[in-house]
């Protein structure tokens, strides 16, 4: 396999049909941040995001020989999104049991500074609101508003009709807005005079 891989190959060249198949290292170096960012925004936690990222690259590397040049980044997003939806479906059928508090825990890896910054700067209220969405709505709104994909790109990535994508994004945004407004309405304002008296 290494004979078919050129030094300095990139997925852009491979995608355009002018380059050789990239190596595992090149794939990961070029796309890991983007895949992890999407996985984190979809799953909402670091462990699931790391698992989704790893599973995505495993699936990509196994399928690379069969890849038809097109939009490589879109293909990665589709795989990540499908793996997330599979994970959600699997978890809905599996009964999870909580580990005791004194269970030995393994330290995780430290995220790169730019990834850690993005992860830590998602508004907690928005993160909570995203958690309330169904997986289908969450995927659509994260791809659009979180990853900056167009409706057409999301339609191709998810294999959905454009109208379905628009509907899901519209409904997801409405649910997010409603949740955030409810949360804001629960905050109570206490005038300074009442505190001082």
Q: pLDDT by residue (tens digit) across 138-150?
A: 889 988 888 888 8
Domain ranges of the chain: 1-93, 122-188
* Token couple for 179: 């949740």
Identify the pLDDT of residue 27: 83
Identify the pLDDT of residue 114: 64
- Give dist(CA 45, CA 42) in Å, integer: 9
* Residues of the chain scoring pLDDT < 70: 1-9, 92-122, 186-197
- Give dist(CA 8, CA 10) in Å, integer: 6
* CATH class held by domain 1-93: mainly alpha
| Beta carbons within 8 Å of 80's beta carbon, 6+ residues apart | 35, 38, 39, 42, 52, 53, 56
Identify the pLDDT of residue 117: 59
Length of the chain: 197
* Token couple for 140: 């659509």
122-188 placed in CATH 1.10.10.10: yes
The answer to whether 88 and 49 have CB atoms below 8 angstroms apart is no
Enumerate long-range contacts of 53-62, CB under 8 Å, 24 or more apart: 53/80, 55/83, 56/80, 56/83, 57/24, 57/27, 57/28, 57/32, 59/83, 60/27, 61/24, 61/27
Identify the pLDDT of residue 64: 79
The residue whose two tokens read 């990961």 is 28
Exposure class string for 46-84: b at 16+ Cβ within 10 A, else e: bebbbebbbbbbeebeeebeeeeeeebbebbbbbbbbbb
Identify the pLDDT of residue 50: 94
- Give dist(CA 44, CA 195) in Å, integer: 37
């Amino acid at each position: 396999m290494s004979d078919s891989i050129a030094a300095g190959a990139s997925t852009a060249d491979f995608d355009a049909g002018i380059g050789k198949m990239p190596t595992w290292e090149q794939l990961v170096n070029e796309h890991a941040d983007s895949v992890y960012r999407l996985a984190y925004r979809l799953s909402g936690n670091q462990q699931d995001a790391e698992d989704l990222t790893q599973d995505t690259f495993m699936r990509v590397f196994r399928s690379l020989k069969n890849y038809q040049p097109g939009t490589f980044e879109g293909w990665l997003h589709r795989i990540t999104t499908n793996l997330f939806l599979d994970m959600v479906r699997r978890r809905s059928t599996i009964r999870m049991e909580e580990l005791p508090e004194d269970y030995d825990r393994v330290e995780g890896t430290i995220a790169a500074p730019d990834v850690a910054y993005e992860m830590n700067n998602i508004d907690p209220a928005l993160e909570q609101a995203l958690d309330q969405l169904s997986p289908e709505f969450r995927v659509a709104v994260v791809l659009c508003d979180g990853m900056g994909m167009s409706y057409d790109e999301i339609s191709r990535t998810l294999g959905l009709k454009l109208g379905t994508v628009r509907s899901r994004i519209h409904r997801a945004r409405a649910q997010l807005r409603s949740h955030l407004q409810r949360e804001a309405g629960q905050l109570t304002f206490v005038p300074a005079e009442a505190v001082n008296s």
